[in-house]
């Protein structure tokens, strides 16, 4: 609800600006991002997934290989990427810290896990069988396989994701990202890529039931350290990103209020995503453990 109110307030401020002669947030040619380094990967990934899903379901049947709910998750995650990177939220994020924070959290805490559980392997089915086999074989090469196992180790993935988050929020690097589009692109890429590794390591681990405990732990740790970073931003007594917050008065906020709103968003709504997923996995862990014990007891009694 807090997020909705913040966005509504920014939209209303944008309406007031439009009447004052400023750029309106719905002017697509000005406020939508058409950078090919953003739009082409989005178009390519969406096209490959759709083509692969159609071919897979034609072969195996609808819902086979990739379930309907997984396809819905991928579409939702892809749509959130468009909302964060192409729609006016990105344009607004260059002017308001709180909007920039919302953009980052959509990438890391919402879009990334949805894409991970959405069966992205379906994209391989967009290619002809010989190429599909060659691409799949790359992942079986010893060096590639070892590197992938290391990157998707829950501890490693959690550390990499946390390091990306803290390093890029150091004032010199954060301000540099605002000044240089290539550094900004690298910032978004590191946030998104490490988030994909993080969620892949926790949601699709091979250890089955034994992976629930570590996943709950690492999600809890992530909610703590991201929340702590949000608290720091919310309670600093002066803006630490002067470039990022310089346009806040145009939207009815002081630079410090803009920073505080951004910190609150990272602290509470974003932190709740990690904590909420930890609770979901803890519930699944308990349910699976109880089911295994019940089956074990039944087998023992029938012998």
Q: Are 14 and 24 in contact (CB under 8 A)?
A: yes
Q: What pLDDT is stored for residue 98 in this prediction? A: 95
* 3-state SS, one letter per residue, for the chain: CHHHHHHHHHHHHHHHHHHCCCCCCCCHHHHCCCCHHHHHHHHHHHHHHHHHHHHHHHHHCCCCCCCHHHHHHHHHHHHHHHHHHCCHHHHHHCCCHHHHHHHHHHHHHHHHHHHHHCCHHHHHHHCCHHHHHHHHHHCCCHHHHHHHHHHCCHHHHHHHHHHHHHHHCCHHHHHHHHHCHHHHHHHHHHHHHHHHHHHHHHHCCCCHHHHHHHHHHHHHHHHHHHHHHHHHHHHCCCCCCHHHHCCHHHHCCCHHHHHHHHHHHHHHHHHHHHHHHHHHHHHHHHHHHHHHHHHHHHHHHHC
The residue assigned the tokens 């007891």 is 297
Q: What pLDDT is stored for residue 224 in this prediction? A: 92
Q: What pLDDT is stored for residue 290 in this prediction? A: 61
Q: What pLDDT is stored for residue 3 in this prediction? A: 46
Give per-10-residue mean pLDDT for the chain (303 aa).
49 46 61 89 95 92 91 96 93 92 95 94 89 82 89 94 96 92 93 96 67 86 93 93 92 93 92 88 77 52 41
Q: What's the pTM?
A: 0.85
Nearest to 111 by CA among 193, 175, 167, 225: 193
Q: What pLDDT is stored for residue 262 in this prediction? A: 94
Give residue-wise pLDDT tens across range 26-52: 666 678 888 898 999 999 999 999 999
Q: What pLDDT is stored for residue 299 in this prediction? A: 44
């Amino acid at each position: 609800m807090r997020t909705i109110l913040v966005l509504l307030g920014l939209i209303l401020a944008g309406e007031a600006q439009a009447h004052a002669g400023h750029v309106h947030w719905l002017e697509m040619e000005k406020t939508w991002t058409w950078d090919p380094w953003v739009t082409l990967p989005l178009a390519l990934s969406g096209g490959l997934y759709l083509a692969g899903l159609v071919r897979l379901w034609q072969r195996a049947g609808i819902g086979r290989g990739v379930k309907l709910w997984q396809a819905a998750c991928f579409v939702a995650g892809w749509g959130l990427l468009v909302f964060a990177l192409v729609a006016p939220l990105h344009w607004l994020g260059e002017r308001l810290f709180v909007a920039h924070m919302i953009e980052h959290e959509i990438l890391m805490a919402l879009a990334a896990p949805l894409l991970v559980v959405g069966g992205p392997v379906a994209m391989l089915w967009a290619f002809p069988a010989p190429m599909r086999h060659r691409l799949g074989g790359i992942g079986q090469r010893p060096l590639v396989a070892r590197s992938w196992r290391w990157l998707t180790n829950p501890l490693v993935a959690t550390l990499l994701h946390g390091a990306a988050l803290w390093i890029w929020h150091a004032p010199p690097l954060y301000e540099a990202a605002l000044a240089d589009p290539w550094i900004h692109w690298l910032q978004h890429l590191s946030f998104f890529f490490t988030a994909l590794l993080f969620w892949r390591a926790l949601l699709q681990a091979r250890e089955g039931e034994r992976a629930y405990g570590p996943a709950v732990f690492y999600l809890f740790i992530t909610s703590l350290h991201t929340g702590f970073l949000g608290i720091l931003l919310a309670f600093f007594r002066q803006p630490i990103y002067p470039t990022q917050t310089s346009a806040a008065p145009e939207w009815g906020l002081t630079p410090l209020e803009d920073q505080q709103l951004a910190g609150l968003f990272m602290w509470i709504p974003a932190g709740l995503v990690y904590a909420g997923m930890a609770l979901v996995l803890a519930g699944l862990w308990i349910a699976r453990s109880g089911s295994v014990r019940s089956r074990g007891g039944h087998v023992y009694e029938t012998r």
